Amino acid sequence: MAENMEQIRKSACFFCHQNCGMLVHVKEGEVIANQGDPDHPLSRGGMCARGQIALKHHKHPARVNYPLKRAGQRGEGRWEQITWEQAFDEIACKLAKFREESGAETVCSAGGTHRTDDWARRRFMNLFGSPNVFHTSHVCWIPTFMIETAIYGWCAFDLDLPQSKCVVLWGHNPGSSYLPEMRSLFDMRDLNGTKIIVIDPRLTESAAKADLWLPLRPGTDAALALAWLNVIIYEGLYNQTFVENCCFGWDKLVQHMRPYTPEWAAPITWIDAKKIRAGAHMYATNRPGNIQWGVAVDQIGKGASAAIHARALLRAVTGNLDAPGSDLLCGPNQRMITDEEMECNEQIPEEKRAKQLGSNRYKLVAWPGYNKIAELTKRVWGKAPPAEWMCEAHGPSVFEALLTGQPYKPRALLVLANNPLLAYPDAKKVYRALQEVELLTVMDYWLTPTAMLADYVLPAADWLERPTITSTYGCSDFVIASQRAVQPLYERRTDFEFWKGLAERLNQKEFWPWITLEEAYFDRLRPLGYPANNYDEFVEKIRYDFPPREYYKYGRIGFATPSGLVELYSQTLEELGYDPMPTYVGLIDNREEDSELAKQFPLTLIAGSGFMPYYHSEHRQIKQLRFMRHQPRVQMNPEIAHELGINDGDWVWIETQRGRIKHVAELTQGVHPRTVCTERGWWFPERKGEEPDLYGVWQCNSNVLTSGAPEFCDPMSGSWANRGLLCRVYKVEKENLP
């Protein structure tokens, strides 16, 4: 009788990183409705268009529902439906063969955004013996986390908004991407008079509501941050008490910052020096304050680490660290079993760690840097950040190794929650690399352009079909648990089941004692000590755990750095061979002195901006979302568009030194006349999936325009440039119109 009654399951939408709480109505094992959960501590009932189409996504006829094995040539689009057992047996057999013949390191895995059990991936790969796990995280938060952790001893990503007097949104647009967050900012403005500064080349939804908008030239964030530091230091706006008592290297920083005046930065950033000063004053004098991370700074390429480093020092010199209303050093969860503790990092030997692709060049987010960071954080916090995100092979270096065989040639690539043809720079190079790999498996909701090249395609469970734990990549001190609303339809499975299935065939069975993902989660939550007998009961009765807020933790435990202080002069970075203080690095693809290049490519490009209602390359199959945004658009200022004979709605080519794509021109005063901005992740599921079309992946894919070559990548983190590239724009010829 109970099975026929309607139930409400406490779930969470992970169609983006917000992980909004959802109440899912279930009857007779089927979802009949979903709504935002008003009691969820982060989203408070909020739900965007992505959450609203969850049921359409769940039951979409184009979903991958059964394991598929390639039946013809790669890319031909011919598939044979097989069982999971056959898929596991065959894939595991090939992996064992590759390990025996060429070494475990020749098996690689590519992941995407954190909506899968990435500790399970790392656990499997560590036990298998391969260090070559990577994501797109080199251009999304991970460089920020590691640089800030080198300076502060943990990343200051937790904002104490209720007491904040100033919030800086640096390359971040919650007015489009994270609506519950934007609502919180408006609440704080109404209650406290909180100032909002937006640093963004575009007049975004958030910038339109800001007290101060700084429309900087794309990719010049480091120059702006350095100029702010100069103003704060030389105009006496710094927090003298914090600097004297909690910082290492102040005298060296003061001398180092002397050249970086607003007048120096103005021609670089395209922002008037007076306006640069106004921003520095607003942030430094409205204390306590916050700087909210945004993905843009991670995507500058060669100058990314300098920008991240300088931005991090702004918090330090103003004392906006771990104080009420500032950016908090929450540290890892002290009571539950963290992601890192699930990864079995101790199982992978040093000789295998040394074979991590890209680790010899981009040391900070690979084993050389991670080892130093983990040792320091364990000393102070007792725990380390997860290796899955903070200790990665370098994606472009993996693809280069596939093409050159240097330092060795990978033989297998296991792809989950990722679409490499849309996700990595120089998409055509990625395509050539995927043609070289002997075994390509893809676990996804859809037959993506990448999946069309795979040997095996495996059906992934969506958020309605799986439980999830939210804890900011395993780096937060809080945890929010959410339920599986229904059992997976057809033969969809979670990635936990994928890794466990392979593990049991590759002599790892003793390390995978759980039958279900709920069992694994409950084991992790059990040390919290709540009265619950299983995972579902925990969610129903408790759901989340937020430790009591503790400010000024450094007074009790210190900072997880070599000096035990905030390192304005970073000894960790210096030991790794990098600048201990931020030094401006110009944009490699924006050489003003090269007049011939500037004449050929006179405009500055933001390649692949995110936009609602999509998330990266997802959701274009959903009719209702596609109606809202049915074709890719490039933002241009009317002034330059009219010079080029381009009208609003025209199809135009956007071309760099590496290739060209086409978008529809959207004319707006919200971008600088010399800036254009394309959209991220475009492919067309309604087109042919077979070669050579691959769902139109080459037509509008912004990563055709980018490069992952070392000269374009940041030396610390390996992040590649999506911003500040040189381009030109011109109308599409009649014969090339869609």
Which residues in the chain are classed under CATH 3.30.200.210? 2-58
| Strand ranges of the sheet holding 289-292, from the earlier edge strand across to the other edge | 212-214, 195-199, 166-170, 289-292
Q: What is the pLDDT of residue 162?
A: 86
CATH 2.40.40.20 domain residues, the chain: 595-736
pLDDT given for residue 294 in this prediction:
83
Q: What percent of the chain has a predicted confidence (pLDDT) above 70?
A: 98
2-58: what fold?
A: Phosphorylase Kinase; domain 1 (3.30.200)
Q: In this predicted model, what pLDDT tens digit does every residue of 172-205 receive, in sequence order?
A: 887 766 667 777 777 878 888 899 999 999 998 8
572 residue type, one letter? T
> pLDDT (tens digit, 9 = 90+) per residue, 361-380?
999 999 999 999 999 999 99
Q: Is the pLDDT of residue 1 over 60?
A: no
Residue type, 404: T
Q: Which fold has domain 156-328+553-575?
A: Dimethylsulfoxide Reductase; domain 2 (3.40.228)
**Does residue 307 sit in helix, strand or coil?**
helix
**Is 336 a residue whose pLDDT tops 70?**
yes
Residue 177 is predicted with a pLDDT of 67
Range(s) within the chain of domains with CATH label 3.40.50.740: 68-141+331-545
Mean pLDDT computed over 292-319: 94
Give me the phi and psi of 438, to 5 degrees please: -75, -35
With a cut of 60, say whether residue 593 has pLDDT above it. no
For residue 592, what pLDDT is reported? Answer: 60
Q: Which CATH code is given to the segment(s) 68-141+331-545?
A: 3.40.50.740
**CATH code for the domain defined by 595-736:** 2.40.40.20
Mean pLDDT of 587-612: 79
Could you read off the pLDDT of 130-177 as tens digits, one per residue? 999 999 989 988 999 999 999 999 999 888 888 999 999 998 887 766
For the stretch 22-46, pLDDT in tens is: 999 999 999 999 998 898 887 887 7
* DSSP secondary structure string for all residues of 418-458: --HHHHSSSHHHHHHHHHH-SEEEEEESS--TTGGG-SEEE
Per-residue pLDDT, 591: 62
Tell me what percent of the chain is helix, strand and coil, each rounded to the nearest 5. Answer: 40, 15, 45
Q: What is the pLDDT of residues 630-641, one digit of tens each?
A: 999 999 999 999
Q: What is the pTM of this model?
A: 0.95
What average pLDDT score do residues 475-493 get? 95
**Ranges in the chain annotated CATH 3.40.228.10:** 156-328+553-575
DSSP for 452-497, written as a single string: GG-SEEEEBP-GGGS-EEESTTTTSS-EEEE---SPPSTT-B-HHH
Residues 19, 470 contacting (CB under 8 angstroms) = yes
Residue 586 has pLDDT above 90, yes or no: no
**For 641-699, what is each residue's pLDDT tens digit?**
999 999 999 999 999 999 999 999 999 999 999 999 999 999 999 999 999 999 999 99
